[in-house]
Structure 1
Amino acid sequence: MSRWAERALNAILRRVTETEDQCGNRWPLYADPDSALWTTTGRGSWTGGFWAGLLWLRATVSADPRHTAVACERTEALAPWVDADTATRGMIFWYATALAEGAEELRRRTALACLNAHDPELGLVPWGSAFGGPRLLARVDALPGLVRLLPEGGPAGAAAADAHVALQLGLTTSAGAHPSWIAVPGGGWSPYPEPGPGWSRTVAWLALAVADHAQVSPAGPVLLHCLCGWSGFTARFANGAPIVPPASAVRPQGPADTSAAAIEAVAALKLAALTGEDRWRDRATEVLRVLVTDHLRDGRLLDGCYDLAHGVATSHELVWGDFFLALALAMLIGVIDPFAC
């Protein structure tokens, strides 16, 4: 049953080596679907942890010391982001270190830095100013990784993670899956236009984070129950639901976003591990078969959408799409535990 998944995972890991050769010490963001050439960044941006995570996944599968050395070097190169004012530090450093050897101190330092940025009055780690725009945003894509990283800062970090998940879950599910909110002077939150309503990764990021939180926090199962009762979640994860969502539900005939489906597959496998229910594993398997059969070419997950609003890489290979597809395949065939990363 798993041979197709093993072949697909091996193809993605071969692509990791091609990407390494092409990018050198730069960081891949997205690649042209025809030329397979990557657009890169010099510092890693918010996606750096996914590239480091792919390198660690390759090292885990291959057990090759050379692969381990490369993964170590790329993870250490992310260190300047520890003190950056961005909630995406959770995403960067959790996925860069979860499978890593000897990265405990880097993870602990980042957890404490994120805890220091936590705003107890707002109840979250704000989105931050590192990428421009308003600092005091609550964005659903701030949750992944952060909910696993914050508890590394001790009881205060675990409490901060509880508060952040509860707040974001309440905001996102209260107004038609709106992914982004801005703090209102004097208290409260107002919808923020970017990312906009109908964003493909809203449910994916939320489901992934809430599943991770349910595994590490006593408060998690209650919030997971709330998620599973939300119509936005059930519409995406039900048997027979479309596998690959449009990049924006506002433009249903526009570009698709395979990266959202890959994230959802990881979330479903985590839900299967949490609940023991076959329906979650069945859904993940269905999603992965479609992605591998219809959208994977030479180890590249195509048809991902980087930024529809600004017309950037709207039908491309995305570094996090490759990462989550590889991660889900590795979980499906038992290479790693669903909560190892």
Structure 2
Amino acid sequence: MARLSAAFLALALGLSGPQAALQSAVAQERPAAAPQAQPAQALPPAEEVKATEPGQEPAPHRNGAQPGEQPAPDAAQPEAEETAENSAPSFGGAQIPHDLSPMGMFLQADWVVKAVMIGLAFASVVTWTVWIAKSMELAAASRKVKRGLNALAASRSLEDARRALGNRRGAGPVAAFVAAADAEIAYSEDAMSPEGVKERVASHLSRLEAQAGRRLAIGTGLLATIGSTAPFVGLFGTVWGIMNSFIGISNAQTTNLAVVAPGIAEALLATAIGLVAAIPAVIIYNVFARAIAGHRAQLGDASAAVLRIVSRDLDRAEHGGGRLLRRAAE
């Protein structure tokens, strides 16, 4: 038994020795082969993986934002929005005016519409200038005619009328009537036909009366022209502006009211200015027409008063041997 146990022990030792040597040789070969192996492909970072496995928490954001928090907006975004708001969109080759006041729309208008507006504004200034000037002229002429009528009413002869009007400053056309009657009587001294003298004096006075009326009507024709043409000029500016608005709508490819309204308002401003120029011109023209008609009636009264005085002097001269007639001629 002792010999059998020793034999098994020797056999076990013999087997373990070669096995240990084999394992050590394999271990030496593995480090040399490891560098020759291909490296495995790296997995993408956890923050770039869009989908996560169920039950797995999402990876934290790179900038340290907690889950549920909104990312901070870009700092350049508010500036871009503000620039876009301040800049007006293109509209028919021009910018749409954000200022819809009359001055703002005028500054943004097309050059043709601007020319129409400037012309109508100038016409309005001319209208009010004519109104001020002619009102003062009519008032002064009316006062002069009234003073002359009072002097003629107080005169018994042409000589008295000449003396009374000569002492009054600014007698106006009535003094011219008396002077014309005196001159015609002087020219007709040799022809002592009273009827012929009266006709010649009446003809001269009628021409002076018409001349005074024409002089007073100067400037009123301009009012009639402005009143009749200003609305059509404004309408031309409106049509031109609406054409530009349609072109702008076509270029913008939108019918948004914010795009359409400024151009149409700008066009309608021309018509508004035309009406502002035309309506006062028509009213002032009608007022002046009535005033001039009244002044011509006063001139007719003065002419008739002078004719009555001339007829009175001629009748006296006929019965008095022409002495009063020669005295009036002197």
Q: What TM-score bracket applies, with the shorter chain setting the length?
A: under 0.3
| TM-score with structure 2 setting the length | 0.17
Flag the structure with larger Rg.
2
Q: Greater strand share, 1 or 2?
A: 1
Q: Greater helix share, 1 or 2?
A: 2
Higher relative contact order (CA 8 A, sep 6+): 2
| TM-score with structure 1 setting the length | 0.17
